[in-house]
Structure 1
Amino acid sequence: MKTRWIWVLLMTASAAQAEEPLGCVEVTVGGYKAPNYDCLSQQMGNNPEGAAAAQKNMEAMNVPVHKRPPNQLGLATPAATSTRMGNTFGTSVKPQRPPN
């Protein structure tokens, strides 16, 4: 009868160790908090919606070329040309240069 209780106790202990904790434990030592980064990483990595969100982020980053703004394509824009030409924009073909 004793061996049966020991066996049940061991099975319960091993089942408790196999379960993942619901929350992470923060330990305070000498006034400093020390979170369990392994637990936090597991919680962040086990999100089933995370893969879908990562896929949407990649799709948002890959904008087709015909929808990109001209400054991302290396084309001249009026604002960039005005900055490059200075006060001669619209009056001369030579950019403004400071006096030597």
Structure 2
Amino acid sequence: MKHLPTLASLLLCAALPLLAQADNALGGCAEVAVDGYKAPDYGCLSQQMGSETNATKAAQKNREAQNIPVERRQPNKVGLATPAATSVRMGNTFGTSVKPQRP
């Protein structure tokens, strides 16, 4: 009988994660309040707002946007010299000499 409160508290602690998972499975999101400030579970809310098909479509669009063909990239992104970069490197000798002002 002395160990009954300890056993009950252990069973309650073991059952809390299962109750939270069951609450999330039913569509409810847990809100935590600390010192009067409420903090919602943004991960759970974002899962409720977006469906799986929308997430896969958005991920596909992001991958397509990042895969720009080489011929459409900016010259400085590919490593080519641009007229502006060349004029900075050549300095006041740009167009008059083959020796750059700056190396």
1:75 maps to what in 2? Answer: 80
Which whole-Å CA distance do the structure 1 matches of 2:96 and 2:48 have between them?
62
Identity in percent:
69
Aligned residues: 80
* TM-score, normalised with respect to structure 2: 0.58
The equivalences for 1:7-86 within 5 A come to 17=23, 18-21=25-28, 24-40=29-45, 42-43=47-48, 46-86=51-91
List structure 1 segments (4+ residues) > 4 angstroms apart after TM superposition: 44-47
1:96 maps to what in 2? Answer: 101
Which whole-Å CA distance do the structure 2 matches of 1:56 and 1:35 have between them?
29
The one-letter code matched in structure 1 to 2:26 is E
Unmatched runs of 5 consecutive residues or more in structure 2 = 1-21
Which whole-Å CA distance do the structure 2 matches of 1:28 and 1:54 have between them?
33
**1:65-97 Cα deviation digits (max 9, x unpaired):** 122222122111101101111222112211214
* TM-score, normalised with respect to structure 1: 0.60
Unmatched runs of 5 consecutive residues or more in structure 1 = 1-15
2:5 maps to what in 1? Answer: none
